[in-house]
């Protein structure tokens, strides 16, 4: 029974989660595109821009605002530090997962380490804990809703399960039971729509931890289109509205 459940999580559920996520992201974007247009302008003017400036920076300024968050830096530097660490680490984490594929060799093919040797996961976990715990303090506590805590907790568990794997491989003598190269084979099979049981390439008692990690990732993908993480797609357009 458990084998079937593990198989479901590791193979069919991954496809379902990815398809679900992509479908609803597209639906969300289409819904917004089909909504009535915004008022003539929602821009605000930086100190050095007058009303005759046709725009206040347009797309480059919106990209700058989105990726450097100058307003957060100005008014809440500590939050800014964690936001930057989190988002940069997230980008590196994405590369690190791509690096698992045998075809991609950012780290050497024989290396047991993920990019960052486990540090990326540590930074992400620390950031997510900061984001979570700051919500327990007033005034943010009064403004937070259950979805905020649950989403952060889900991401925390997702990171932690990934940390156990990468820290095991990078930081312990005996290593995690499964190597980076084993995950590469599993991922390669997924990309190739090879529906064979992943146990064939991930045959170790630590397999349950990998299943947990993939299960949490699936949950995350299922939730993503309905969560505020959709700001990944809308942060730039929203900032563009402010910039005019």
Partner 1 sequence: MDGKMKQELLDVFASKLNQSVRMYMDNCARCGACIEACHVYASSPETRYTAVGRAQNLRRLFEKYHKYSGKIAPWLGEAVELDDNWMKKVYETAFTCTGCRRCMTYCPFGIDTQQFQAMAKAMLIAADMEPKVLSMLADVSVAKGENIEATKANFAEACRQLEAEVIQKWQQEAGKETIPLDVKGAHVLYVALAGKHSIIPAAAIMNAAGENWSLSYFEAVNFGAFVGNPVVTKNIAQRIIDEANRLGVREVAICECGTAYRVMRHMTGTHDFKVITFLQLIERYLRDGRIKVNKAVNNGRTTYHDPCQIARNGGVYEAPRYILSRLTDDYVDTNPTKSANWCCGGGGGLVVVGDKDFRMMSAKVKADQVRATGAKVLATGCENCHSQLSDVNEHYQLGMSVEFVSSMAANALVR
**Residue ranges that bind partner 1, judged by CB under 8 A:** 28, 31-33, 35-47, 49-53, 65-66, 69, 71-72, 75-76, 79, 83, 134, 138-140, 142-148, 150, 226, 228, 230-231, 234-235, 237-239, 241-243
CB of 68 to partner 1, least distance (A): 10
Q: How far is the CB of 13 from partner 1 (least distance, A)?
A: 19
CA dist 114 and 118 (Å) reads 7
Task: For the CB of residue 189, give the shortest distance to partner 1 in the complex, in Å.
Answer: 33
- Taking the least distance from each CB to partner 1, the nearer of 58 and 237 is 237
No. of helices (H) and no. of strands (E), the chain: 11, 0
Closer residue to partner 1 (CB): 106 or 140: 140
| Cβ proximity to partner 1, 117 vs 144, nearer residue | 144
Of 180 and 243, nearer to partner 1 (C-beta) is 243
Beta carbon nearer to partner 1, 207 or 234: 234
Q: In angstroms, how far is the first alpha carbon of the chain from the final one?
A: 57
Question: Minimum distance between the CB of residue 161 and partner 1, rounded to whole angstroms?
Answer: 23
Which lies closer to partner 1 via its Cβ, residue 86 or residue 171?
86
- Asked if the bond preceding 139 is cis, omega within 30° of 0, the reply is yes
Minimum distance from residue 9 beta carbon to partner 1 (Å): 22
168 CA to centre of own chain: 21
Question: Rounded CA gap, 218 and 21, in Å?
Answer: 9
> According to the 3-state scheme, what is the secondary structure of 142-159?
HHCCHHHHHHHHHHHHHH
Its sign, for the CA torsion 15, 121, 3, 198, is positive
Q: Nearest approach, Cβ of 206 to partner 1 (angstroms)?
A: 33
DSSP code of residue 127: H
CA distances (Å), origin 29, targets 26, 43, 230 = 5, 22, 10
Helix (H, G, I), strand (E, B) or coil at 21: helix
């Amino acid at each position: 029974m458990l084998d079937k459940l593990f198989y479901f999580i590791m193979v069919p559920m991954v496809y379902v989660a990815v398809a679900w996520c992509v479908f609803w992201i597209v639906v969300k974007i289409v819904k917004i595109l089909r909504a009535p247009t915004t008022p003539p302008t929602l821009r605000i003017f930086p100190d050095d821009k007058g009303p005759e400036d046709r725009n206040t920076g347009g797309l480059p300024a919106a990209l700058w605002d989105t990726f450097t968050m100058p307003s957060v830096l100005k008014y809440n530097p500590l939050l800014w530090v964690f936001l930057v660490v989190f988002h940069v680490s997230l980008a590196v984490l994405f590369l690190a997962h791509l690096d698992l594929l045998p075809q991609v060799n950012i780290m050497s093919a024989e290396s047991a380490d993920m990019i960052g040797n486990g540090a990326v996961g540590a930074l992400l976990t620390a950031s997510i804990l900061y984001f979570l715990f700051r919500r327990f303090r007033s005034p943010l506590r009064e403004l937070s809703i259950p979805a905020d805590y649950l989403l952060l907790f889900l991401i925390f568990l997702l990171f932690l399960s990934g940390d156990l794997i990468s820290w095991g491989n990078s930081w312990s003598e005996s290593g995690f039971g499964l190597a980076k190269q084993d995950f590469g084979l599993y991922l390669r099979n997924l990309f190739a729509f090879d529906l064979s049981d992943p146990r064939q390439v991930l045959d170790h008692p630590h397999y349950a931890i990998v299943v947990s990690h993939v299960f949490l990732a699936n949950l995350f993908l299922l939730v993503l289109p309905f969560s505020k993480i959709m700001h990944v797609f809308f942060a730039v357009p929203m900032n563009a509205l402010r910039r005019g």
